[in-house]
Chains A and B, each alone.
Chain A
């Protein structure tokens, strides 16, 4: 069942609201170079189900390699609340750590995306990834 959650960066400038079915959507980790450093816990959210409440002008965007992924973060506190992933750039990956209600006990990572072998893993898991929205 779709439910509404809010979250944001740390300084409070970037705030978002999402609608997501947490029971039917697995939170995941990725072991690629940037996800390792960001520590992001990926919660896939369809484009139309994320509303940016504030902070559009406070977001900086970092890109590298193919340039597909848009790694957005708050330029004031450096927190990566959500981004557009290379695996599904039309939609969002919200960082579950940045939900107001984040609870590591009830929101554990349930899948691992092998981003170190991105092409081969995406070929196997890409459709599945999109379907989890």
Chain B
């Protein structure tokens, strides 16, 4: 069920509001998602609003540099990020929504990011989508910048 929820990091510097569907919770087994333990809710940036904290965020990148792994520099939480598989969208970390209990969150979808190319091809085929435009490798950074640009100081 699509609902508007708020969430944030732990120290309270980073806050967001987003339209999410917790019935479509997804998990990935790639190297960084495993360490982050993130539970993904990928959404359109139009359904996401950064309420505060744009200057508290650090973005970590590696590999292709497409994904923008943002986290709060003060408490180290990863409330959302821009995924490599959908660099024109933003993935909300369900663990960082207000009022959730981590161990009770049960993902219903799975992305086999350890074999990334294969997982991406399968996902695109299942959803009938074309590969997203990587914009010369800058698609993720551009999506993040647009979200930060419209966030309050």
Contact = CB atoms under 8 A, between A and B. Distances in A.
Interface in B59-78: 60, 62, 69, 71-78
Contacts of B79: 37
Contacts of A64: 10-11, 75
A109 B101 CA distance: 15
A38 B11 CA distance: 12
A39 interface: yes
Contacts, number: 90
Interface residues of B, number: 33
A9 B78 CA distance: 14
A79 interface: yes
Contacts of A25: none
Nearest to A109: B103
Given A10-B60, A29-B103, A37-B9, A97 B35 contact: yes
Interface string A1-27: 000000001110000000000000000
Categorize the interface residue count of chain A.
Answer: 35 or more
A35 B95 CA distance: 9
A78 interface: yes
Contacts of A10: 31-32, 35, 60, 62
B144 interface: no
Interface centre among A30, A36, A98 (most CB of B within 10 A): A36
A71 interface: yes
Interface in B23-49: 29, 31-32, 34-39
Contacts of B38: 39
B102 interface: yes
